[in-house]
Structure 1
């Protein structure tokens, strides 16, 4: 009987105990709980919810109404390792808030309204590895704010209003790997501010207002792999400022105010993979600038004031894959051996420069090049063998230059070419373009903008597509050649004379002592107009043609338009007169019908 009552008592005790055991695992209504991760969202939250699951190791609070982390807000969460409170207009933290959660490994307080913090508020977190305070309102940091964080690896202070920092702010953070100071308002940095960060691998100082870099500022960062300095106001670099960064892989100096760079600035950086210097008002570059960089694959040098560059600029960049060397509005000349040592280059952008001529051997060693952008320059002509070595090139962009013609065999060696653009050039559809038009007709699929490749001269071919020119239209070119070379040997030709007969036409008289000479119906003299009439009389050919000067052409065009407009006006006037007459007749008939007899 006693055993019966004892068993019943255990059952009753268990039934009363189960709800209390299970309540700790109930997820609050404003949260989502999955395993040990709890994510709470909502403006109704003014503090950390009570009765979170006991095994919570990650707590994320987002877009709440929690303005302060209270002294006991983090209590009873002994297993929690990661705490995040973001986008919640947090204004302050109790000085002892983290004393009840000293086990934390990560604290993220991003995008709040923090402007100050109590002294040594993070000091109890001796095992903290990650601290994010980005997106707040900090203007200054107290020297002891990071005191005691000897295990810290990741520190994000970006997107604040930080000005000048204390020189010892990072002292003691000897294990720090990542430091982000980007998007603040810093104008200067103390020369020894990073000296204790010997393990630092990533340093972000982009989008500040730095005007100078102190000599020696990076000397202790021997393990640094990424340094971002873009979008500052830096006007000059100290000599050898990067020389200690032997492990550096990424360096961004773009969008500063550099007009010159010291000799050998980028020496002793053999691990470099990406370098940007674009959007600086650079006027010149020294002959000795780049050291050995066999692993670099991206280099950006555009939007500068350079007119030319040293011939060996890229000589130490054998691993380069992408070279963006465009948007330099003063760049008019390139050394012939500039691209001599880039056996792996895949993309070369020279667009939107001011290039007028290119050396025939400029691209001869770029055997792996796949994309070549030459558009938006001022190229007037191209050497016939300029693309000869580009056996793998697939894309060549030549649109918006000043090209009037190209050799017919200029692309014959580019068997892989599938995308060629030629529009917005003043193509001259005369004898010089004959062989190139034939190539276009045979490779219409290659010229992707062929419907916009238009003749700009002579006037009678204006706005015709180059691809529409048939070979028969160039027969007069053969006639000219035949007349000069076959039928008119130099010993039998007498000098020809011209005389103007009127202001609207001219007569060209050519002496033909060779009576069997064939003379075609159309004759072009120095690419003149083809409106020609001729007579052969006593060994002389009399040729009459209209003048090709633009003033006469404009006058004739005006007359034509005037006559057409006058004709249209007369037709409309006649139609209106007929309308008025018809209306008058109708009114007379109506009046006669209404008059009684």
Structure 2
């Protein structure tokens, strides 16, 4: 009894909820999807006109990838509730002059990516409530001056990706509510001086990827509410002084990829809300001392791919809020002023990579207390001051690869306590006494040097291909010796005790001792054997005449240093050679040799086996052909 009592109302509720869906599905055209709230989407090449049998409550109609070529006078009839209409990625090339008289209530029209080359002059005039109009991705070459007359509520207009070369000065007159205007990716060479004069509410203006050569001095004067101006990828060779001064609310300005060789003084004044500025990919030769006004909200700045050799010391002094600075890929930028980064207390990322920097001032970064990332790769840095990163306690990433560094001070990263990623490869490290400090630091911080296996010695020759992290402290014990007594002996016994100052050696010749000077820096000579490395040492006697006894042609011993074996004496130079004693390196090279030989044998056997299989296959085919012919 209870079950039958509830069964009737439940069935009624179910019918009421499913009725709208059933109704929509019953009248939804083929190739379309309809929902009960009135949104209809139709896709397919079989669609050649706007479907007639649409749900009565349709307010949104989207047609995509159709074969519809014309919107005629009756296409939008009986669509009294339709507010948003789009016909995109189709073959549309013609619109009847009265096509939109049947639906004056439309608020949005999107005709993107079609084949429209012309439009009737006043085709949109009946749409007095239209707020959005997209005509991008067509073949439009001209726009009639009265095209947008009557569209007093229009807020969003997209004319990008067409073939426009010019626009009439009055084409946007009356669009007082327009906030977004996109003219990008056309072929516009010049814009009339007063073309934007009535667009007082415009906040976003896109003119990128055109052929603009000049910006008139007062062109932007009426755009008092403009927040974004994109004019990159044009052919602008010069700027008029104060051309941007009226844009006090501007937040984003892109001037990159133009032909600017110079920028007038104070060009970027009176823009206190600017947060992003790009002037990269311009052949800039110099920048004026007074270029940037007060910009406390600046967050991103891009200045790369220029011909600058240096920049003014106060370039960033008015950008206290800057977070990311990209001053890279300037292959002629050789030096930076010592106080360039004096006033950037919030900077988090600094990119100076791929410039031509040879030297950095010791105090260049000292005020960047919040810096977390610094890129210095692909420059010509030969050395770095010990204090260059001092005090940067938040520094987590340092990129120093591909420079001309031979060594670094052992304490250079001492204050960078949170350092997590350091790259040092691609430098010409000199693994002599000066490398000892940084080698010790690398051994103790191997987890920080992410490319440690590629940080290898380039000199001297007896250290070639060794990683700096493999150098041990005991290998540099001889660096601490104040005296390096060395002698030549023919009998295996020391001669009479003598005191030899650093850089000299004594020789015993027939009971007498002669003092010989050895320069502190030895001169490497060409190797006389593939398995030996040679060094040459210049010997100059303290007397006016040079004399060397036959006993010199015996064993040379140098205390607290590697053992050398005498090889040859030629024109006052002693050529020495030695055999490397690094067991790990020898075993590694032997393993590589064996591996390569084994790999070669494997590939040879594989090739032979492949030829054998190929031969069998050919024989089998021949047999089958002979059998078929028989």
Q: TM-score, normalised by structure 2?
A: 0.77
Partner of 1:546: 575
Please say if residues 44 and 65 of structure 1, whose CA atoms lie closer than 8 Å, have aligned partners that are also in contact.
yes
Partner of 1:557: none
* C-alpha displacement of 1:482: 7.4
Per the alignment, in what secondary structure is the counterpart of residue 173 of structure 1? coil
Structure 2 residue corresponding to 1:497, chosen from 504, 516, 521: 516
Please say if residues 351 and 375 of structure 2, whose CA atoms lie closer than 8 Å, have aligned partners that are also in contact.
yes
2:303 aligned with 1:301: yes
Please say if residues 485 and 558 of structure 2, whose CA atoms lie closer than 8 Å, have aligned partners that are also in contact.
no
* C-alpha displacement of 1:28: 1.1
Separation in structure 1 between the aligned mates of residue 72 and residue 427 of structure 2, nearest angstrom: 71
Partner of 2:188: 186
Output one character per residue of 1:87-146: Cα deviation in whole Å (capped at 9) or x when no partner.
Answer: 111011111111110000000000000011112000000010000000000011111111
Unaligned runs of at least 5 residues, structure 2? 1-18, 487-498, 507-513, 520-525, 529-535, 543-555, 578-630
Partner of 1:104: 106
Per the alignment, in what secondary structure is the counterpart of residue 59 of structure 1? strand
Partner of 1:514: none
Separation in structure 2 between the aligned mates of residue 522 and residue 232 of structure 1, nearest angstrom: 70
Separation in structure 2 between the aligned mates of residue 113 and residue 477 of structure 1, nearest angstrom: 79
Please say if residues 484 and 558 of structure 2, whose CA atoms lie closer than 8 Å, have aligned partners that are also in contact.
no
* C-alpha displacement of 1:481: 6.1
Output one character per residue of 1:227-258: Cα deviation in whole Å (capped at 9) or x when no partner.
Answer: 00000000000000000000000000000000
* C-alpha displacement of 1:471: 1.1
Partner of 1:117: 119
Separation in structure 1 between the aligned mates of residue 98 and residue 41 of structure 2, nearest angstrom: 24
* C-alpha displacement of 1:443: 0.6
Unaligned runs of at least 5 residues, structure 1? 1-17, 512-518, 535-542, 549-597
Separation in structure 2 between the aligned mates of residue 452 and residue 493 of structure 1, nearest angstrom: 38
Structure 2 residue corresponding to 1:45, chosen from 35, 44, 47: 47
Partner of 1:531: 564
1:169-568 to structure 2, matched below 5 A, reads: 169-480=171-482, 497-498=516-517, 508=539, 521-522=558-559, 531=564, 546=575
Output one character per residue of 1:51-95: Cα deviation in whole Å (capped at 9) or x when no partner.
Answer: 111111100000111100111111111111000000111011111
Please say if residues 303 and 327 of structure 2, whose CA atoms lie closer than 8 Å, have aligned partners that are also in contact.
yes
Separation in structure 2 between the aligned mates of residue 520 and residue 470 of structure 1, nearest angstrom: 23
Partner of 1:33: 34
Output one character per residue of 1:406-461: Cα deviation in whole Å (capped at 9) or x when no partner.
Answer: 01000010001010000010000000111111111011111000000010000111
Partner of 1:148: 150
Per the alignment, in what secondary structure is the counterpart of residue 107 of structure 1? strand
Please say if residues 24 and 54 of structure 1, whose CA atoms lie closer than 8 Å, have aligned partners that are also in contact.
no
| Residues 96 and 530 of structure 1: CA distance in aligned 2, closer, same or farther (over 3 Å) | farther
| Residues 488 and 24 of structure 1: CA distance in aligned 2, closer, same or farther (over 3 Å) | closer
* C-alpha displacement of 1:496: 5.1
Output one character per residue of 1:186-220: Cα deviation in whole Å (capped at 9) or x when no partner.
Answer: 01111111001011000000000101111100000
Per the alignment, in what secondary structure is the counterpart of residue 338 of structure 2? coil
The count of corresponding residues between Structure 1 and Structure 2 is 507
* C-alpha displacement of 1:473: 1.0
* C-alpha displacement of 1:479: 2.6
Please say if residues 505 and 517 of structure 2, whose CA atoms lie closer than 8 Å, have aligned partners that are also in contact.
no
Separation in structure 2 between the aligned mates of residue 106 and residue 436 of structure 1, nearest angstrom: 66
| Residues 416 and 545 of structure 1: CA distance in aligned 2, closer, same or farther (over 3 Å) | farther
* C-alpha displacement of 1:546: 2.1
Separation in structure 1 between the aligned mates of residue 132 and residue 538 of structure 2, nearest angstrom: 91
Please say if residues 102 and 126 of structure 1, whose CA atoms lie closer than 8 Å, have aligned partners that are also in contact.
yes
| C-alpha RMSD over aligned residues | 2.8
Q: TM-score, normalised by structure 1?
A: 0.81
Separation in structure 1 between the aligned mates of residue 518 and residue 125 of structure 2, nearest angstrom: 102
| Residues 481 and 200 of structure 1: CA distance in aligned 2, closer, same or farther (over 3 Å) | farther
* C-alpha displacement of 1:475: 1.5
Per the alignment, in what secondary structure is the counterpart of residue 404 of structure 1? coil
| Residues 238 and 509 of structure 1: CA distance in aligned 2, closer, same or farther (over 3 Å) | closer
| Residues 107 and 481 of structure 1: CA distance in aligned 2, closer, same or farther (over 3 Å) | farther
Separation in structure 2 between the aligned mates of residue 324 and residue 251 of structure 1, nearest angstrom: 15
* C-alpha displacement of 1:497: 3.3
